[in-house]
Structure 1
């Protein structure tokens, strides 16, 4: 397997400061008769979703758009580590070159090991249980709007996290100037399949 990097986290999901450790992943949401793909970037210091991008195809450009949005929002440290799984998007040379050129140290889970990116899996699971499965969105714009509200209004501001001693991100002291924002991305390109712990169902998305 080409362009696989070492696992630098080894399930150590605690960070001493913002922008020390980020993690990223892709999930998919079934909207009426098609998939909406969501790439997100999380800061492990507080579990804040720094930025995300959504689109109709699961491409390298989608994950790079999410990372670019995060870098536009945050002043990253020279010791920032960005962790992901081994999906083809994260192993794409263009994505790797983009991240490395910005001083990011890349880290990847072992093959087929979901637990090594557990915080992102937990976030996507909550998103689907608390929002997606209950809403049955009929259009992409409805889904994007709902996801925006969930992340910005609930998750990033009100949600209490066990990793933060049951404090919200505001109570944790995550700098308010570093709030996440949405990076919209639409693509008509064909689907690129990335290895996941479970295959997507025909009616609903899964991590």
Structure 2
């Protein structure tokens, strides 16, 4: 599942795009940039593929933004055996999981600080996702386990 968000810094906006595993709630790929072009989303997808190495086709669901529906994104997705899916206009449940993640990161990180630079915000986002959210943040939908704990239990 893909989604993006932005946060203000003293240097201007910083956009964050994520790829979230719907089963474990783990952020498996993410990217930041000073723009909201397709490259931002492609970079998040590129970051996710080595982590997951899907052996079977996967469905990649996103909202209807042009950065998600462009040919620039569709062609490499097909090569990776990723089937793109977009929600219907006005269907808020399609992206509820991603929206929930962005509410959490805003409430627990982005809205709690002022960011002097994009680099400072990017570093904090890295620490939040890779050091806190994926490894330690408990989710009631996962039986009060973190995404990493949930995946470990599934693998056992």
Q: TM-score range by the shorter chain?
A: over 0.9
Are 2:135 and 1:157 aligned?
yes
The Cα of 1:168 is off from its aligned counterpart by 1.5
User: Which ranges in structure 1 are unaligned for 5 or more consecutive residues?
Assistant: 1-22, 176-207
* Alignment partner, residue 136 of structure 1: 114
Q: How does 1:164-183 map to 2 (within 5 A)?
A: 164-174=142-152
Following the alignment from structure 2 to structure 1, what is the Cα–Cα distance between the partners of residues 109 and 12? 18
Scaled by the length of structure 2, the TM-score of the pair is 0.92
> How many residue pairs align between the two structures?
153
Q: What is the Cα-based RMSD across aligned positions, in Å? A: 1.4
The Cα of 1:44 is off from its aligned counterpart by 1.0
Following the alignment from structure 2 to structure 1, what is the Cα–Cα distance between the partners of residues 55 and 2? 17
Following the alignment from structure 1 to structure 2, what is the Cα–Cα distance between the partners of residues 172 and 103? 25
Q: Secondary structure at the match of 2:109?
A: helix
Are 2:16 and 1:38 aligned?
yes
* Alignment partner, residue 48 of structure 1: 26
CA deviation map 1:129-160 (0-9, x unaligned):
11111111110111001101111111000011
Q: Secondary structure at the match of 1:86?
A: coil
CA deviation map 1:23-64 (0-9, x unaligned):
111111111251101111001111000011100010011101
Q: Determine which of 98, 120, 126 is the counterpart of 1:148.
A: 126
Structure with more helix by fraction: 2
- Higher RCO (Cα < 8 Å, 6 or more apart): 1
User: Which ranges in structure 2 are unaligned for 5 or more consecutive residues?
Assistant: none
Q: Secondary structure at the match of 1:118?
A: helix
CA deviation map 1:164-205 (0-9, x unaligned):
111122331348xxxxxxxxxxxxxxxxxxxxxxxxxxxxxx
Following the alignment from structure 1 to structure 2, what is the Cα–Cα distance between the partners of residues 51 and 43? 9
Following the alignment from structure 1 to structure 2, what is the Cα–Cα distance between the partners of residues 106 and 166? 30
Q: Secondary structure at the match of 2:17?
A: strand
Scaled by the length of structure 1, the TM-score of the pair is 0.70
* Alignment partner, residue 195 of structure 1: none
